Amino acid sequence: EPANRSIFEYVASSIEWLDVCNEGFANFHLVFLMRLTRFLGFMPNVEGMKEGEWFDLRTADFVAEQPLHNDTLTPAYAILIPKLLRLRYGTMRLFRFRGTERSQLLSYINLYYRLHLPDFPELKSFSVLKELF
């Protein structure tokens, strides 16, 4: 029950913030989804992460060498994971992504969820989010 309460409070406060926000919310969906991983139990392990490392989407760890599978983020995208986890709604407007970066990050986050939540469905709203942001 306490875990469900925490998730509820996080989702509710996020929706409340978005409801009153008039601008600077282009990264909302990315920040929301990455921070939600903490409550769901598969938040990326960013401790000791070094620039130039790959992010293994399967293990949620940063690694020095490219894993032998394709469920990875290149170092160029891996470096963005800790930044997304640190961003707050009120300040996320200060961090700018190009549209292509935002779209690619959303694809990676979608795959990350599907790898860690076996029953996670293919999001129908995924293509809508890509178009909007």
Per residue in 17-59, pLDDT (tens digit) is 999 988 888 889 999 999 999 999 999 999 989 999 999 999 9
At 92, phi and psi to the nearest 5? -65, -20
Question: What is d(CA 31, CA 92) in angstroms, rounded to the nearest whole number?
Answer: 8
DSSP letter for 121, please. Answer: P
pTM for this one? 0.85
Distances (CA, A) of 116 to 33, 37, 74, 91, 103: 13, 10, 19, 28, 20
Question: What is d(CA 124, CA 74) in angstroms, rounded to the nearest whole number?
Answer: 26
pLDDT in tens, 63-99: 999 999 999 999 999 999 999 999 899 888 888 888 8
